[in-house]
Every structure is written in structure tokens, then in C-alpha cells.
Amino acid sequence: MMMMFMMMTFDDDDDDDDDDDDDDDDDDDNVMMMMMMMMMMMMMMMMMIMILMMMMMMMMMMMMMMMMIMMK
């Protein structure tokens, strides 16, 4: 993902040199893209953590059930 950031920024900079009028717009777009990518990464991380937590909870529940059955 970080490599994608770098590539995107470099490409945009190269494009900017050709047409000087649209510099500001390109910069704004670039920033927006960076923000979007960061948000996506954060969301992915959150999802992964949530899934891991769910798995752990399921495992704990299963263990508890097994213990209960064994005790009987």
C-alpha cells in the first residue's frame, strides 16, 4: 500500500510539470486520494481485528462448552 502511495505521488508530480494551470486541482486530488487510501487501510485493519476478536470469542465459547460437558 505504501508503495502505491509513492507511485501515485510521483506520477502526479510528473503530470503537473506538463500543464501548470491545473497544479492546484491535481494537488487537491492527490491529497484526497491519500486520505481515501489511509481510510481504506484503517478500515481493513479494523475489520481484521474485529474478525480476530470474534474468532477468539468463538474459541472461548467452545472451550467453555467442552468443559461443561466434561464436568457432567
Q: Cβ distance 8 to 33 under 8 Å? A: yes
| Phi and psi based region of residue 19 (left: phi greater than 0; alpha: psi -120 to 50; beta: remaining) | beta
- pLDDT > 70? residue 4: no
How many angstroms separate the first and last alpha carbons of the chain? 52
What are residue 41's phi and psi, to 5 degrees? -60, -45
pLDDT at position 56 is 94
pTM of this structure? 0.43
What is the tens place of the pLDDT at every residue in 5-62? 555 555 555 555 555 555 555 566 778 888 888 888 999 999 999 999 999 999 999 9
Q: Cβ distance 30 to 9 under 8 Å? A: yes
